[in-house]
Chains A and B, each alone.
Chain A
Amino acid sequence: MTLSLLLLIPALGALLLLLLPAGLPPQRGRVFTLVVLALQLMWSLRVLLAFDPTQGGLQLQESVTWVGLIGLDYRLGIDGLSLPLVLLNSALTLVAALCTRDLSQRPRLYFALLMLISAAVNGAFLADNLLLFFLFYELELIPLWLLIAVWGGAGRAVAATKFLIFTAVSGFLILGSFLGLAFTTGSVDFSISPLLAGSLPLASQLTLLLPLLIGFGIKIPLVPFHTWLPDAHTQASTPVSVLLAGVLLKLGTYGLLRFGLGLFPEAWAVLAPWLAGWAALSVLYGSLAAIAQRDMKRMVAFSSVGHMGYVLLAAAAATPISLLGAVFQMVSHGVISALLFLLVGIVYRKTGTRDLEVLRGLLNPERGLPYTGTLMILGVMASAGLPGMAGFISEFLIFRGSITPFPVATLVSMVGSALTAVYFLLLVNRAFFGRLAITPPQDARLDALLDVRLAPVALRETVPATALAIAVVAIGLLPAGLGHLSEAASQVMALDLLPGGAG
C-alpha cells in the first residue's frame, strides 16, 4: 500500500472535495487541498525513507491482477529514476496550489482537477505495466486541458485545443507502439522489461521505437513538435504553468528513458547518434527562438524546449553519468522552471504585462518588485548553469557523460547553454534593470508622467518562490544526496555504446 497511497491520497482528496457541500466558502476548499497535498508530500518523504538506494531495480512493488485478459495489471514499483520525479510532483503540486489566487470561477473543480493531475502523474511514474502507464498518461490530459481552457487567458480556447490535439496524438502513438509490441510478440504481457522486445528482429524494434520517440517527443517537447508548449504556457494561469513545465513535461522524458531506452535497448543503440543530433538541434533551436521572444513567458517556455533537449542528449549517450545527469536535469529543470514561471506570474499580475519592450526597472527597491527581481536573477542564473545552483551540476553531468560517445553534439549543446545566458540576461536587463517604467520606451512624455508604484507581493507567492529558490541552491551545493538516490538506477539503465560513434 506504500505506493498506492501516493495515488490514493490526491485522488480521494479530489473526490472528497467534489462531494463537499456546494455552499462551502472557497477558502475552505483551498485549505482542504493544501492539507491533502501536504499529506501527499509527507507520504512521498515516507517513501523516500523506505527506499533503498543501493538497489538499481524497482522496489516496494505492488501487484494486483486487474484485467488479466488484456494484460492490464495494477502493478506499481519505484526506482531511482521515478522517486525524484514523484517527490518533484508532490512538491510542485503543493506549490501550484499555494500560489493559486482567489478564484471567482468554480474553485472546487479547479482544486479537484489539480489533485487529480497529481494522482495521475504519480501513477504514471510508478506504473510497472505499459497499459497502466498509458491509462495514467491519458488521465492527466483531460484535467490539464480543462485547467487551461477554463481558467486560462484570453486566447485559451485555441491554445487548449492545440494542447489537446498534440497530446492526444502523442498518446495514440505511444499506445500504438505498446499495442504493436503486443501484436508482434504475440503476448499480452505488458510488464516493462527489455526481454519483451529483445526477441524481436531489429527492424520491428525500430518500427516500434519510432512512434514511441515521436509520441514522447511531442510531450517533452522536442523540435519540431514543440509548438503547442509556448501557446499553452502563455494562456495558462501561473499555477498551471508551474505544473506543466515543472512536472508534466517530465512525463515525456521519463517515458523516453523508461520505455524508449528501457524496452528497446538494441534499437536505441542504433538510433543513438541520430537522437544526439536531434537533441543538439532542439537545444539550439529552443535557445535561439527564446532570444527572439518579447513575452517573458514565451521566453521561459522556449528555454524549456532547449533544456529538455539536454535530457535527450543524455538518454542518447546512455552512460551511467549521463543518465544520472538526465535525472538531475529533470529535477532541476522542474524546480527552476517552476520558480521562473512563478516569478513571471508575479510580474504579470503586478504590472499587467509580460512584454519585455514595455517593462523596465522592476528591481526598484521602493516602488518596484525588488525581492521578485532578486529571486529572478537567481532563477535565470541557475537556468544558465551557473555553479552553486541546480542547473550546473545537471548540465555538467550530462555533458561529461555524453562527450565521449557524441563529442560534436555535446559541444553544440554547450553552445546552447551559453545562449541561455544571453536570453535570460536580456530578460533581467530589460525588465529589472534601468529606471522603473511600464510604458513603451519611445513614449518619453508618458514615461516621465507615470509614477509607477507596484503593490507588495503577497506571502502566498513569495513563500513558495523562496522555497523553490532554496531548493535550487541546495541541489546545487549538495548534489550528493540526489546522486546517491539515483546512481544505482542509472547504472542499471546504462547501455554500453561503443565510444567514437558519429554525432
Chain B
Amino acid sequence: MSPSPPLVAQLVWLLPLYGFSGMLLSLPWASGLIKREGPRPAAYLNLIVTLVAVLHGSLLLREVLLHGALHIDFPWFQAADLDLRIGFDLSVTNLAALEFVTGMSLLGQVFALGYLDKEWSLARFYALVGFFEGAMAGVVLSSNLFLSFFLLEMLTLSTYLLVGFWYAQPLVVTAARDAFLTKRVGDVMLLMGLVGLSAAAGSLEFDDLYAWGGSLERAGAVGTLAPTLLGLGLIAGPMGKCAQFPMHLWLDEAMEGPNPASILRNSAVVTCGALVLLKVMPLLRISPLALVVLVVVGAVSALGGALVALAQVDLKRAFSYGTTSYLGLVFLAIALQQPAVALLLLFAHGLAKALIFMSVGSIIATTNCQDITELGGLAGRMPATTSAYLVAAAGLTGLLPLGCFWCFTPLVQAFMASQPLLAFVVLLTNGLTAVNLVRVYRQVFLDQPHPKTRRTPEVNWLMALPMVSLTVVVLLTPAVFARLALLPGLDALDPLAAALVLASGAGGVAVGLMLPLQRFSARSAQPTLRWFQDLLANDFYTAQLYRNTIVAFVAAVAQTVERFDQVVVSGLARRLGTASLASAESLRFGVSGQLQSYVLTAVVALVLLLSGLVWIHG
C-alpha cells in the first residue's frame, strides 16, 4: 500500500454512501412532505447520485488497473480485544463487481422511471432502491466479514421492503414475510459463524481469517466440531441470499414485487451473496463437511431450479427459478475451488438475467399480463423487447459464444476428469435452461396473437433505452472478459468440453422446439405427466412442506409455551397472590384498613430490623 493513496481511493467510503444518500434525498417526497411537484424529483436525484457512483467507481477501477490493488480502512468500534473496522479492498474483482452493481442499479432505475410511470409512491421506490444500492456497493467492496454481514443484513431489510412495496396486496404480504424470514434464518446462522470466528480468530479481516484457517490446517484441526460448524454457518448466509435449496422459496414469491426491483434482485443481489461466499472460500477448507454441503446444495439447486422453471406459467417465475439454478452452478464452482469461473459465471449470468427481466418487464408493462398461456405473437410487434430476449437467452445458454458459453466450458473442463457427475449436472442444467428459454419464446413471441396481445406497441424510450444498452453489453460480454484478461483464451479450451456444452445447448433448443405448447390450460391431460407437472409447478411442494413442518412446529411450541404460561406460571402466581391477599383481607378486618395494616407491618419490620442492626453494631 502506498503511503498516501490517491484521492479517489481515499474517498472510497463515499461509494456505499451514494446509494444511502439517494435514500435520504428521496425522503421528503417519499414521506409526503413535498407533494406539489409529484415524486419525480426524488427519482432524478437518485439517478444523479447513482451516476456519480458509477463514475467514481470507474475512476477507481482505472486507478487500480494502473497502480495495483489498495486496502483502505477506518476504525469503527474498539473494545478490549475486539476491533471492528470499516474496511474496503480495492481489487480489480471487487471494483468490477462494484461497477456491475452500480451500473445495474442505474439501468434499473431508468427502466423503473418508465415501468412505474403512474405509481403514486414512486419516491418510496427510489428511496428503497437507493438503500439497496448502497448496501450492495458496500458488500462487494468490504474487506472484512463483519462489514459484509452488516451490509448483507441491510440487503435483507431492503429486500423485505422492496418486495413489500405494494403492501396492500395479500400475496405481497406473505412474499415479503417469507423473503425476510428465509434470509434471516441464513443470516442468523452466518452471525453464529461470525461471532464464533471473531472469538476464535480474533480479527475478522478476510486476509487474517485466511491466515487463521491456514494455521488451523497446519495444526491438523480441520474437520473437528468447531471448524465444521463455523464453515456451515458461513455458507448458510449466502445460501439464503442466493436462493439456494432449501432456502430458495423467497425468490419465487418475491416476484410479486415491482419488476425493476426484480431485475436488481435476480442479477445484482444474488451476485452480492455469492461474492461473500467467494470471499470466504479459502476459509471453507477448514470444514470439509461445509464443502460437501455446498456441492450437494449447488447441484440440487442447479437441477431442481432448472426443472421447476420448466413448469412455470408465470413469466417472471419462469426465470426466477433459473437464477436459483445458475447460482447453484456458482456454488459448485466455489465448492470445487474454481473462483475465476465462479466470478465469470456471476457476471455473465447477472447481465443476461437482468436483460431478460427487462424484456419481461416490457411485456408486462405493455400487456398487463404475466401468464404465458395468455400471451403470444409479440415477436413482430415489439422488436426491441424481442431482440433483448433473444440476446439474453443466447447469453444464458452455452450455445453461441456469448457470456455463459465461456463459463460452462471451463467448468465442464474442470469437472470432467475428477467429478464427471458434476460435469453432467452442468451440461444438464444448460440443456434444461435452453429448453425453458425456447419454450417461453415460442409461447410468448411466436404463437399467434392472443386477445391480450393484439395491441402491443413497443415500450417507451425510458424502458427501451436501458434495455437496448444492456443488449449491447451482453453481446459484448466476451470482449469485456477478454479485455479484463479473465478469459483463458481459445487455445486453452478443451475441444471435448466445448463440444459437450454446445451439444447440450443444441439438444435443449431442439427439445424446446418440439415441446407441445400449452395453449389454454397449463396442465397436461395425461395423468402421469400431469403429476410431474404439478410437482414441478408447485416447486416440489416445498412451501407446503415448510408450512406443515417448521412453521407448524414453531407455532405449536409457541402455543404450548403460551398455554403453560397462562395455566402454570400465571396460575401459580394467582394462587400465591390470592393467599397473600386473603391474609391482607383478614388484616384489614382485624385492623382498620389495608393501608394502615401495610404501614403497621412495615413499622414493626423496621423496628425489628433496626434493633438487629444496632445489635450488630454494638
Contact = CB atoms under 8 A, between A and B. Distances in A.
Interface of A: 69-71, 161-162, 165-166, 179, 182-183, 186-188, 223-224, 226-228, 285, 288-289, 291-293, 319-321, 324, 361, 363-365, 370-371, 374, 377, 381, 384, 386-388, 392-393, 396-397, 399-400, 403-404, 407, 410-411, 414-415, 417-419, 421-422, 425-426, 429, 432-436, 479-480, 483, 487, 490-491
Contacts of B77: 393, 479-480, 483
A365 B199 contact: no
Given A320-B79, A361-B168, A292 B188 contact: no
* Interface of chain B: mostly helix, strand, loop or mixed: helix
A179 B612 contact: yes
Contacts of B75: 480
B616 A414 contact: no
B322 to A, nearest CB: 28
Nearest to A328: B79
Given A291-B554, A422-B181, A433-B167, A480 B573 contact: no
Contacts of B562: 288-289, 292-293
Q: Give the interface size bracket for B toward A.
A: 35 or more
B80 A70 contact: no
Contacts of A321: 79-82
Contacts of B559: 292
A370 B168 CA distance: 13
B565 A289 contact: yes
A487 B80 CA distance: 8
B149 A365 contact: no
B561 interface: yes
A415 B189 CA distance: 9
* Complex A-B, nearest 4 residue pairs according to Cβ-Cβ distance, in ascending order: A292-B562, A291-B558, A70-B613, A387-B150
B154 A404 contact: no
Interface string B574-618: 001100110000000000000000000000000001101110110
Contact of A162 (B198, B557, B573): B573
Contact of A285 (B192, B561, B609): B561
Contacts of A320: 79-80
14 contacts: A165-B580, A166-B573, A226-B569, A292-B562, A319-B80, A386-B156, A392-B153, A400-B195, A417-B188, A421-B184, A432-B167, A433-B167, A480-B77, A490-B79
Contacts of B612: 179, 183
A188 B82 contact: no
Given A186-B616, A399-B195, A386 B173 contact: no
Interface of B: 31-32, 75-82, 121, 149-151, 153-154, 156-157, 161, 164, 167-168, 170, 172-174, 176-177, 180-181, 184-185, 188, 191-192, 195-196, 198-199, 554-555, 557-559, 561-562, 565, 569-570, 573, 576-577, 580-581, 609-610, 612-614, 616-617
A293 B566 CA distance: 11
A418 B174 CA distance: 18
B396 to A, nearest CB: 34
B76 A480 contact: yes
B593 to A, nearest CB: 16
A206 B253 CA distance: 55
Contacts of A487: 79-80
A339 to B, nearest CB: 17
Contacts of A324: 79-80
B188 A289 contact: no
Given A321-B80, A483-B77, 7 more contacts: A161-B581, A228-B573, A321-B82, A324-B80, A384-B184, A397-B82, A407-B196
A188 B611 CA distance: 12
B569 A224 contact: yes
Contact of B153 (A289, A386, A404, A434): A386
A434 B173 contact: yes
B154 to A, nearest CB: 6
Contacts of B570: 227
Nearest to A324: B79
A98 B173 CA distance: 34
A490 B82 CA distance: 14
B581 to A, nearest CB: 7
A6 to B, nearest CB: 27
A418 B185 contact: yes
